[in-house]
Every structure is written in C-alpha cells, then in structure tokens.
Amino acid sequence: MNFSSKLIEEAVNAFAGLPGIGRKTALRLVLHLVKQSPEVVEQFAQAMLKMRRNIRECERCHNISDDKLCVICTDRRRDQSLVCVVEGIRDVMAIEGTGQYRGLYHILGGVISPIEGIGPSDLNIDSLVQRAQAGEIREVIMAISPTIEGETTIFYLSKKLRDTDVEVSTIARGISFGGDLEYADELTLGRSIVARVPYKGGGE
C-alpha cells in the first residue's frame, strides 16, 4: 500500500497495530479522521490519552476501574457474598451483557498453562483466597472457559479454597468444551450462570 503522505502512513500503521484492525480498515479510519475538524480529532486523541493515563485496576477484583474500587464492587445492590471468577475483563463484560448475574467478580488474569509458562503465581489467585478467608464470600462461581487449562485452573482453585467455608460451583455445561467464554451467546451464557452446579473435582 503506497501513501502520498508520510503522516497518513504513520497514522495507518498506528491503527493497524490494534488487534482485529487490518490495513484497509486502518486506512478507512484515518481518512475518516482527516475529514473531521481538528477539534474533533483532538477530543478523540485526548480521550485515549486520558483513558490510558488514568485507568487503574480495582484493588478488590482486578477489574478495570477509574478509582480504587470499580463500580461493580461498590454497588451495594449487588450480592457482595457471591463472586464469579473469570479469566479476563472481556469475560466480565460478556456475563454483564446477559443481565442474569448480580454478584461480584474476581479476574484471574488468565489460566494456568505450563506450556505457556503461566503458573499460579502469575495469576490473581492469592487475593481470591484472601477474600475467601476474610469471610466476605459465601459462594465462588468458576466461570472459566471449559478447556484443559481452564479445568486445571478450576481444580487448583478449588483445592486452595477447600479449607474455607466457601461453596465452589461451576457454570453449567451449556458452554461447549474447548470454547471461549467471551464468545458464547448471551442466552447460553446467562443460563449457564443461573444453572450452575457444585464443583466436585477438588474436594476429594
């Protein structure tokens, strides 16, 4: 792709560096911005800078947040004793989109995967155990993608929580094995949360 402007080329390269954005889409976005007023483009750029500079991690659940605690953790209308454990932020958004869940979350930051060099110490596991030991949690729902790595992570977590008074459950298998939670349709995901079942694997 040849460009008559080095500035356009640099802007296209910047957009093309985003996940899921090809060079044609990047060019379309850049040409759209070129047609906008400098004020509109500056507002767009400032919003991105402000987001990147000020976004933080919730101290309790590790969700993205504007403050020390995210809006979900501070919402007293939610069940503070129910915690849904997920791999990442997009899983939270997927579950919230179902409208079927009104508890809190805990984001692990991934799953245990020896092949990729990811062990328990690389995930937000200790903080989950601390929340359970503090007595603030009644039930933990393991809403982790049903893969080999996901099942390994669920088994490990259930063992870590075994000495607490927390009930451990998993989402119902409306989600096919090997699938990613974030790509499940909202109806199936919502029903899987509601129809969760006690986890038996780690209590032996």
Report how many domains make up the chain: 2
Pairing of strands 139-142, 103-107: unpaired
Report the alpha-carbon angle 83-89-90, nearest 5.
115
pTM for the full model?
A: 0.78
Within this chain, do residues 167 and 124 fall inside the same structural domain, yes or no? yes
List of the chain residues with pLDDT < 50 = 176-178, 202-204
Report how far residue 45's alpha carbon sits from residue 52's, in angstroms, rounded to the nearest whole number.
Answer: 11
Task: Lay out the sheet containing 79-86: strands in order across.
Answer: 103-107, 79-86, 139-142, 167-170, 197-198
The CATH number of the domain where 121 resides is what? Answer: 3.40.1360.10
Within this chain, do residues 74 and 43 fall inside the same structural domain, yes or no? no
pLDDT digits 0-9 by tens, 170-193: 886 655 444 555 655 565 566 566
pLDDT digits 0-9 by tens, 108-125: 999 999 999 999 999 999
pLDDT value of residue 203: 46
Domain of residue 15: give its range: 6-54
Phi, then psi, of 123 in degrees rounded to 5: -115, 165
